[in-house]
Chain A
């Protein structure tokens, strides 16, 4: 094992590997930053290129696209409140608020450092514990997934801003929207009203852009109209992140990295859940939780470190069992196979050094990315210095283009506009759209895993869960207690904040 590792390190230390990885990182970052273009699409398109390159150039190249793409997705989330995937939704809580305060560059850099740190540490943990992680990953099945998703939804409802009941209400709306389309088990149409496009469900991207980006634009226009903002320059890009700021978030980054690495063992939904759990934990541990959601650098660090820490462990089922956990690893498996490497139990035995070389390349990709990102961020941060009269229409163009590109169906534009109007309306009524979006994304997975669990239990659920799935049973029993704790904590915090506020405002 140790010999293989050392051989792997030697194999990965090549300038051409680094160069191609750098190219991949840049490409991924630009594609990820364009709304509508997802990392998965970029990787699928670039996959044939890797067929003609040797393994230690082609695969690191794709890994570069992967990592760059995930970071790229948080750029529009921070600057114009346009999340490209569920994983960057948590980043929109504090990102745009920071941008408005003129701290856009700081936010982008915090995202870069925490992503790279989270990813790097999880990769190292993965290399050290690849065997045990593989064992756990194999054993996490539908019942465990169901329990984790259930828990995640409760945490999301508890961390939503504003009134708890309003959060729950939006969650129910999201769960309902997630049911539109074909049911996951029997593929029968539900709530489609015979509109063909809804058979595939409500499209995610137009919904995300609709509820997050469009209301921001409308409100910005409103403010201008009422003459509240008269300056021609929208805002400053702001100075770079200081070491002091990074240090103050370091505890949060470490906590989120741990959360992300643990959740990364669960295939598929890891990133979305991790980002929220990381954010919730940071908010919970903070001395000033009321600042979260209003432009707190720590919020960015929490979400970004957590969703990137998922990356290491998700590679494990692919490398050790030959089973891809999500779309991205499915594409990587294609690259492996085309190179004559068949991921599976024997890969580690037959090609140990190469597997380690790829893992080491992942670690190096993070370091390389820190350097590349550091020099490109000032360019991206300049976006906010564009005049508002140009930036707003431009954002609208990107919102429409981003919704149209994935399916090229004009119907998706209607969905975008519909959700934009809905998002604006609920924002005016002080509802938080996030529980809805999260319930929409996770609800489908929850329903699927619930259906699978029922089938697996063969009609005897209690016996199945308690005797064959003790982890699931434990989580389900623990959930009410945790909910109570979260609820008590949040109401206590609210009282404290209210007390503090009334102290400050002399009546």
Chain B
């Protein structure tokens, strides 16, 4: 009786967690593909992954299972993917900072350039600079001028060191030649709370977070041109254009058979035309800035160079 209960529990769990074996097919993929996320449950990567993996199977011919492996700022999951068999059944869904920046600040047990090849950039997201509605700063120039006159006085809330908010921010501060107090928070949500509660004077946020706050916040510079009506982008304000871009990328262990890589890429390309996908991705407030693998691979050396220069200038 109890044994049956327990085995039923296991069976139920196996069904729920999609551990059941896929149907046997001669063609790749014969079994579900594992997509490692080096990030935790419920974050923006998780949400994006849940959306695209729920529609992709109809183009791929088999399921894609999300496997969360958070820890050590992405290193746990990335190491697991780097050491996985390059047979196309293990992929990783990561972002440009883990891919190209981390190698310059940490000793890693893998080399992203030697261990991974791009499958595609799923989308990108641009962070914009915001202040509270009652802030005295009306433009980015106001803020920069104040920071220049009062070094270290302004407080900036970010979601973690070398993360999607911290990196564009330090690039901006370097370009503007200002010094501010960096207040770390555990993720985007807590940093937004701290900012709204007045613990920090300004922060960077992605569009979905900004829109939901309505008229409580004011955008001083947007992550890309025309993102917010009447607000100049960082580029238009005299700084680098791609300052705040966080790119969500799918990578495969290097050595993946070319035909299998192509098959996954083709499925992702077809996904871009899918109505349900477009609709859902819009609902969760993300873009569909898709870049296919070969093109994305060309961008990586440039990113690495930018980050290397940034870090050398910050740490010297």
Footprint of B on A, CB under 8 Å?
27, 30-31, 33-34, 37, 40-48, 51, 138-139, 141-142, 181-182, 184-187, 196-197, 199-201, 267-268, 317, 321-325, 327-328, 330-331, 333-334, 337-340, 342-347, 379, 382-383, 385-386, 394, 407-409, 448, 451-452, 455-456, 458
State in angstroms the CA–CA spacing of A323 and B217 once bound together: 14
Assess whether B40 is in contact with A323, with CB atoms less than 8 Å apart: no
List 6 extra interface pairs beyond A45-B66, A196-B79, A323-B189, CB under 8 A. A142-B194, A322-B213, A339-B283, A385-B2, A407-B71, A456-B199
Assess whether A200 is in contact with B72, with CB atoms less than 8 Å apart: yes
Given that A44-B41, A51-B51, A325-B189 are contacting pairs, would A185 and B283 also be in contact in the complex, using a CB cutoff of 8 Å? no
Question: 1/0 contact trace for B45-79 toward A, CB 8 Å?
Answer: 01100110110000000000011111111011001
B190 within 8 A of A: yes
Assess whether A141 is in contact with B9, with CB atoms less than 8 Å apart: no
With a CB–CB cut-off of 8 A, which chain B residues contact A317?
193
21 contacts between A and B (CB under 8 A): A27-B12, A41-B68, A44-B46, A45-B66, A51-B54, A184-B184, A185-B184, A187-B162, A199-B75, A200-B72, A200-B76, A201-B71, A322-B213, A323-B196, A324-B42, A330-B189, A338-B284, A382-B1, A409-B80, A452-B185, A456-B155
Assess whether A330 is in contact with B43, with CB atoms less than 8 Å apart: yes
Interface residue count on the B side (C-beta < 8 Å)? 66
Question: 1/0 contact trace for B75-103 toward A, CB 8 Å?
Answer: 11001100000000000000000000000
Enumerate the 8 nearest inter-chain pairs by beta-carbon distance, A residue then B residue, closest first.
Answer: A200-B71, A330-B42, A344-B212, A199-B72, A200-B72, A44-B41, A48-B54, A322-B212
Q: Which of B16, B51, B161, B190 contacts A42 (CB 8 A)?
A: B16
B181 within 8 A of A: yes
Assess whether B2 is in contact with A187, with CB atoms less than 8 Å apart: no
B197 within 8 A of A: yes
Assess whether A452 is in contact with B184, with CB atoms less than 8 Å apart: yes
B227 within 8 A of A: no
With a CB–CB cut-off of 8 A, which chain B residues contact A325?
189
Assess whether A41 is in contact with B41, with CB atoms less than 8 Å apart: yes
User: Measured between C-beta atoms, what is the minimum distance from B73 to chain A in Å?
Assistant: 5
Q: Which chain B residues in 86-124 approach chain A with CB under 8 Å? A: 106, 109
Query: Taking each of B50, B181, B284, B285, which has the highest tally of chain A beta carbons within 10 Å of its own beta carbon?
Result: B50
Query: Taking each of B16, B69, B181, which has the highest tally of chain A beta carbons within 10 Å of its own beta carbon?
Result: B16
Closest B residue, CB atoms, query A200: B71
Closest A residue, CB atoms, query B193: A323
Query: Taking each of A199, A201, A333, which has the highest tally of chain B beta carbons within 10 Å of its own beta carbon?
Result: A199
With a CB–CB cut-off of 8 A, which chain B residues contact A458?
152-153, 155, 181
With a CB–CB cut-off of 8 A, which chain A residues contact B208?
337, 342
B216 within 8 A of A: yes
With a CB–CB cut-off of 8 A, which chain A residues contact B2?
382-383, 385-386
Assess whether A182 is in contact with B72, with CB atoms less than 8 Å apart: yes
Given that A337-B283, A338-B284, A452-B184 are contacting pairs, would A44 and B42 also be in contact in the complex, using a CB cutoff of 8 Å? yes
Given that A196-B79, A199-B75, A407-B76 are contacting pairs, would A455 and B182 also be in contact in the complex, using a CB cutoff of 8 Å? yes
Q: Which chain B residues in 177-228 approach chain A with CB under 8 Å? A: 181-186, 189-190, 192-194, 196-197, 199, 208-209, 211-214, 216
State in angstroms the CA–CA spacing of A128 and B110 once bound together: 53
Assess whether A48 is in contact with B199, with CB atoms less than 8 Å apart: no
With a CB–CB cut-off of 8 A, which chain A residues contact B76?
197, 199-200, 407
With a CB–CB cut-off of 8 A, which chain A residues contact B181?
455, 458
Assess whether A46 is in contact with B16, with CB atoms less than 8 Å apart: yes
Assess whether A182 is in contact with B51, with CB atoms less than 8 Å apart: no
Closest B residue, CB atoms, query A328: B42
With a CB–CB cut-off of 8 A, which chain B residues contact A182?
72-73
Assess whether B42 is in contact with A40, with CB atoms less than 8 Å apart: yes
Q: Which of B47, B192, B284 contacts A323 (CB 8 A)?
A: B192
State in angstroms the CA–CA spacing of A331 and B183 once bound together: 25
Assess whether B214 is in contact with A340, with CB atoms less than 8 Å apart: no
Question: 1/0 contact trace for B141-163 toward A, CB 8 Å?
Answer: 00000000000110100001110
Assess whether B72 is in contact with A181, with CB atoms less than 8 Å apart: yes
Closest A residue, CB atoms, query B18: A45
Assess whether B194 is in contact with A379, with CB atoms less than 8 Å apart: no
Q: Which of A138, A328, A338 contacts B193 (CB 8 A)?
A: A138
Given that A141-B194, A187-B162, A407-B76 are contacting pairs, would A345 and B214 also be in contact in the complex, using a CB cutoff of 8 Å? yes
Q: Which of B17, B51, B152, B160 contacts A48 (CB 8 A)?
A: B51
With a CB–CB cut-off of 8 A, which chain B residues contact A34?
9-10, 13
Assess whether A407 is in contact with B69, with CB atoms less than 8 Å apart: yes
With a CB–CB cut-off of 8 A, which chain B residues contact A328?
42
With a CB–CB cut-off of 8 A, which chain A residues contact B40?
327
Assess whether B42 is in contact with A327, with CB atoms less than 8 Å apart: yes
Given that A383-B2, A455-B184, A456-B155 are contacting pairs, would A27 and B16 also be in contact in the complex, using a CB cutoff of 8 Å? yes
State in angstroms the CA–CA spacing of A342 and B73 once bound together: 28
Closest B residue, CB atoms, query A350: B214
User: Measured between C-beta atoms, what is the minimum distance from A429 to chain B in Å?
Assistant: 32
B5 within 8 A of A: yes
Q: Which chain B residues in 257-307 approach chain A with CB under 8 Å? A: 280, 283-285
Assess whether A267 is in contact with B42, with CB atoms less than 8 Å apart: no
With a CB–CB cut-off of 8 A, which chain B residues contact A30?
9, 12-13
Given that A33-B9, A327-B42 are contacting pairs, would A344 and B285 also be in contact in the complex, using a CB cutoff of 8 Å? no
Assess whether B152 is in contact with A45, with CB atoms less than 8 Å apart: no
State in angstroms the CA–CA spacing of A340 and B285 once bound together: 10
With a CB–CB cut-off of 8 A, which chain B residues contact A141?
193-194, 197, 199
Closest A residue, CB atoms, query B34: A408
With a CB–CB cut-off of 8 A, which chain B residues contact A185?
161, 184
Closest A residue, CB atoms, query B6: A394
State in angstroms the CA–CA spacing of A456 and B153 once bound together: 10
Given that A182-B73, A340-B283 are contacting pairs, would A448 and B186 also be in contact in the complex, using a CB cutoff of 8 Å? yes
Assess whether A342 is in contact with B186, with CB atoms less than 8 Å apart: no
State in angstroms the CA–CA spacing of A337 and B1 once bound together: 43
Assess whether B285 is in contact with A337, with CB atoms less than 8 Å apart: yes
With a CB–CB cut-off of 8 A, which chain B residues contact A337?
47, 208, 283-285
State in angstroms the CA–CA spacing of A386 and B192 once bound together: 51
User: Measured between C-beta atoms, what is the minimum distance from B131 to chain A in Å?
Assistant: 16
Assess whether B216 is in contact with A345, with CB atoms less than 8 Å apart: yes
User: Measured between C-beta atoms, what is the minimum distance from A124 to chain B in Å?
Assistant: 25
State in angstroms the CA–CA spacing of A34 and B40 once bound together: 20
Closest B residue, CB atoms, query A318: B189
State in angstroms the CA–CA spacing of A334 and B51 once bound together: 10
Assess whether A327 is in contact with B199, with CB atoms less than 8 Å apart: no
State in angstroms the CA–CA spacing of A27 and B181 once bound together: 46
Closest B residue, CB atoms, query A194: B107
Question: 1/0 contact trace for B13-46 toward A, CB 8 Å?
Answer: 1001110000000000000000000001111001
